[in-house]
Amino acid sequence: MVKVNLHPSVYEWIEEMAKITKPDKIVWIDGSEEEKQRLIKEALETGELMELNQEKLPGCYLHRTHPSDVARVEDRTFICTPTKEEAGPTNNWMDPNEAYKMLYSLFDGSMRGRTMYVVPYLMGPVGSPYSKVGIELTDSIYVVLNLRIMARIGDVALKALGNSPDFVKGLHSKANLDPEKRYICHFPQDNTIMSVNSGYGGNVILSKKCFALRIASYLGKKEGWLAEHMLIVGVEDPSGNVTYIAGAFPSACGKTNLAMLIPPEPLKKLGYKVWTVGDDIAWMRIGEDGRLWAINPEAGFFGVAPGTSYKTNPNAMETIKRNTIYTNVLLKEDGTVWWEGMDGEPPERGIDWLGRPWTRDSGEKGAHPNARFTAPASQCPSISKEWENPKGVPISAIIFGGRRAKVAPLVYEAFDWQHGVYVGATMASETTAAAMGKVGVVRRDPMAMLPFCGYNMADYFAHWLEMGKKIPNPPKIFHVNWFRQDENGNFIWPGFGENLRVLKWIIERCEGKVSAKETPIGYVPYVDDLYLDGLDIDKETVEKLLEIDKELWLKEAEDSREFLSQFGDRLPRELVEENEKLKQRLSK
C-alpha cells in the first residue's frame, strides 16, 4: 500500500466499524494486478466466482447471487435525515439515530469468520478537481472486484484523499442475506452509506447509485453542481467538431444503446461518429467559460445483460468479451454465457442462473431478467478520448426522454431553461409488458432521478432552477420519444442508430443552423430539417411523429399538476407557473 499520511478520522472510523462487525482480519486494497489475481483465486476457491472459458472470454468470470437478492430494493432503501421533510415524499425516510441503532445491531458480529476489505476508491478522472473519494468496507470479494471495474481503487484513491477528512464512508456486509433485514441507508449530512444483508451489485457496489447519485446529489446542492442519472455522448460531425450531449432516460428507454450508438450508414458515409463518455451518471459543474461541463464519475459499465445483442448494442457486446464479471446469466456447456435476447438460437442446454440444469424447451428463463455484466469502460470501442479528461466535456444539450405511445412527439425543444426544468420534472414513461402487469400505466420519473435523489425532490427542482440562473451559457433542453405508436400499436420510428438523425437536428438547433416550429409544448422540427436520406419513411409519417394532440396534452398537463402537488408548498412556484402557461397555450 502507498504511504500516505491519512487523516486520523479515516483510521478512527475503520476501527470503530471493525469493533462492531468483528472481522477475523482487515485487508487494505491497493488496486494492483497481483492483488486482483490473488482475490480471484480466493473467490474461485470459495465458489464466489466461477471461471469461464478463458480462450473465448479471457479474464471473465460468473457470479450467482442468492435467489432472494437479484435487484435493487427500493422499498428497503432509506434517506436518513433529521426531518422527514428533508427526504421528501418520494423517498423512504428514517430518523438517523433510529437508523444507526438498528443498523449497528444488524452489523454486530456480521463479519465474524470473514475478512473486512478496506477499499478506497476515486469517483471521476485522476487529477480532476471534480473527483471525490469514498472508502467502502465490505466482506465480499465480489464487491471488491466490481469496485475495481466501476471506480479507480486503491493507492490512486488514497493519493487523491491525502490528509483530507472529506470522504464518503461506506459500510457493507452480506451478513446472512436475510431479505427481511436488508437495508440500504444513506445519511447525506454524514457522508455515509450503509448496506446490509445483500450481495447484489446495485445494493452493494456503493460507488454507484448510492454515492454517485444519492449522496452526490445532496453534495451538488450544497456545493453548487449537479449529480445526474445521465449518459454523456459526443457527436462528431464531418468536419471533426464534437458536440457533447447529456441525456436522462428512465429504464427500458434505450439509454445505454444511445450512449454507445453506431451511426446509420448514410450518416457514417458523411463522416459522422459517436463517442461514449458515460452510459449512466454525469457530474456537471459550471466551467470558467460559462458553460456546463460534465465528467463521468465511473470507470465501468454495470449493464443489464438480457436484451443486449449485436442488433441492439454492438459496442456493448464488444466491450464485454474480456475482463468482465457476469452475474446471474446462463452458463453454456462450452464455458461461455447466454441470456434472453442474445443473438442467434438459444443453446440446447446449460446451467441456469439458479445453478440448475436448463434446456431451451424447459419454458424457464436461463438468465435472470436483471442479469448483469460489469465491464471496464476503457474496453468500449466507442469510448471517447476525452472520457478521462480532468476538465470533463462541455455540454451543449440536455435531453430528457420517455416511452410514450401517443402524447410526446419524436423531439421538441424547451422554450428556455425554466421551461426545460418543468419538462424534466414532469417526464414520464408508460410501462411495458415486461416492466409491470399492466401495460400503458404512466409513471412519472423526474429527470430519471425519482429513485436516486438524496433529498427532497422539490428542493432538487429548486436547485436546477437556481443553477439555470448561474450558468452564463446554459445548454438547450430537449425531450425525445423514440416509442410513438401507430393505430395498430407498431412503433413508427425505427430507433437505435437512426436516433442520430434526431441528435443531428438537436445539435443544429444548438448551433442556430435550423429554425423550428413553435407549438404550445415547445419548438418542433420542420420535417425538411430532419435528415431522412436512406430511411424508409415518408414525410406524412414523420409529420405524424411530430404531431401535438391538444386534448391529450391538456390531460397530460392535469396529470403533471397532480404529480407535482405531492410536494406541497415546497414545490418551486416557477413549476406551477410553467404548468399554467402550458394549459393557456394549449387552450388558445
The per-residue pLDDT of the chain, averaged, comes to 96
Digit-coded pLDDT (tens) for 57-106: 999 999 999 999 999 999 999 999 999 999 999 999 999 999 999 999 99
Same domain, 401 and 498: yes
Same domain, 435 and 558: yes
Chain-centre distance of CA 226, in angstroms? Answer: 14
- The Cα–Cα gap between 531 and 538 comes to 12
Digit-coded pLDDT (tens) for 399-457: 999 999 999 999 999 999 999 999 999 999 997 654 445 667 899 999 999 999 999 99
Which domain CATH number covers 337?
Answer: 2.170.8.10
Same domain, 240 and 340: no
Considering the chain, what percentage of its residues have pLDDT values greater than 70? 98
Q: What pLDDT score does 431 carry?
A: 77
Residue 48 domain flag: no
Q: What pLDDT score does 434 carry?
A: 45
Which domain CATH number covers 182?
Answer: 3.40.449.10
DSSP label of 151: S
Same domain, 310 and 292: no
What backbone phi and psi angles, to 5 degrees, belong to 132? -135, 155
Contacts of 540 (CB under 8 A, 6+ apart): none
pTM of the predicted model as reported, rounded to 2 decimal places: 0.97
Same domain, 19 and 77: yes
Q: Contact at 8 Å (CB) between 578 and 422?
A: yes
Query: Is 209 annotated as a binding-site member?
Result: yes
Residue 216 domain flag: yes
DSSP state string for 31-84: --HHHHHHHHHHHHHHTSSEE--TTTSTT-EEE---TT--S--GGGEEE--SSH
Residue 292's H or E segment, with its range, is: strand 292-295
Last residue of a domain, one of 362, 379, 396: 379
Same domain, 216 and 267: no
Residue 171's H or E segment, with its range, is: strand 168-173
Considering the chain, what percentage of its residues have pLDDT values greater than 90? 96
Last residue of a domain, one of 379, 406, 431: 379
pLDDT band at residue 252 using 50, 70 and 90 as cut-offs: confident
CB atoms within 10 A of CB 523: 17
Digit-coded pLDDT (tens) for 211-236: 999 999 999 999 999 999 999 999 99
Residue 131 domain flag: yes
Query: Is 433 annotated as a binding-site member?
Result: no
Nearest CA to 453 among 84, 85, 87, 73? 87
Q: What is the extent of the structural domain holding 320?
A: 300-379
Q: What pLDDT score does 433 carry?
A: 52
Q: 550-565 vs 573-587: helix axis angle to the nearest 10?
A: 160
Same domain, 179 and 281: no
**In the beta sheet, which residues pair with residue 194?**
171, 185
Active site residue 380: no
Residue 180 domain flag: yes
Same domain, 126 and 217: yes
Query: Is 498 annotated as a binding-site member?
Result: yes
Q: What pLDDT score does 436 carry?
A: 40
Query: Is 501 annotated as a binding-site member?
Result: no
Digit-coded pLDDT (tens) for 21-64: 999 999 999 999 999 999 999 999 999 999 999 999 999 999 99
More confident residue, 261 or 588: 261
Nearest CA to 216 among 324, 96, 147, 296? 296
Contacts of 315 (CB under 8 A, 6+ apart): 260, 262, 276, 380, 381, 382
Query: Is 63 annotated as a binding-site member?
Result: no
Residue 374 domain flag: yes
Query: Is 229 annotated as a binding-site member?
Result: yes
Same domain, 239 and 217: no
Same domain, 219 and 361: no
Digit-coded pLDDT (tens) for 501-529: 999 999 999 999 999 999 999 999 999 99
- The Cα–Cα gap between 232 and 558 comes to 32
Tell me which of 60, 80, 210, 253 is the catalytic residue: 253
- The Cα–Cα gap between 43 and 141 comes to 7
Q: What pLDDT score does 1 carry?
A: 61
Cα 186 to Cα 190, 219, 311: the distances in Å are 9, 13, 39
Query: Is 307 annotated as a binding-site member?
Result: no
Digit-coded pLDDT (tens) for 119-166: 999 999 999 999 999 999 999 999 999 999 999 999 999 999 999 999
Last residue of a domain, one of 179, 195, 223: 223
Residue 484 domain flag: yes
**C-alpha torsion sign, points 93, 97, 100, 105:** negative
**In the beta sheet, which residues pair with residue 148?**
none
Mean pLDDT for 266-275 is 98
Digit-coded pLDDT (tens) for 360-381: 999 999 999 999 999 999 999 9
**In the beta sheet, which residues pair with residue 169?**
135, 192
Q: What pLDDT score does 438 carry?
A: 66
Same domain, 393 and 534: yes
Q: What pLDDT score does 251 carry?
A: 82
Burial class (CB in 10 A: 0-12, 13-18, 19+), 254: buried
Query: Is 152 annotated as a binding-site member?
Result: no
Which domain CATH number covers 397?
Answer: 3.90.228.20
Same domain, 244 and 336: no
Q: What pLDDT score does 440 carry?
A: 76
Residue 405 domain flag: yes
Q: What pLDDT score does 40 carry?
A: 98
The residue behind cell 446449460 is 350
Residue 25 domain flag: yes
DSSP label of 474: P
pLDDT band at residue 245 using 50, 70 and 90 as cut-offs: very high
For the chain, the domain total comes to: 3
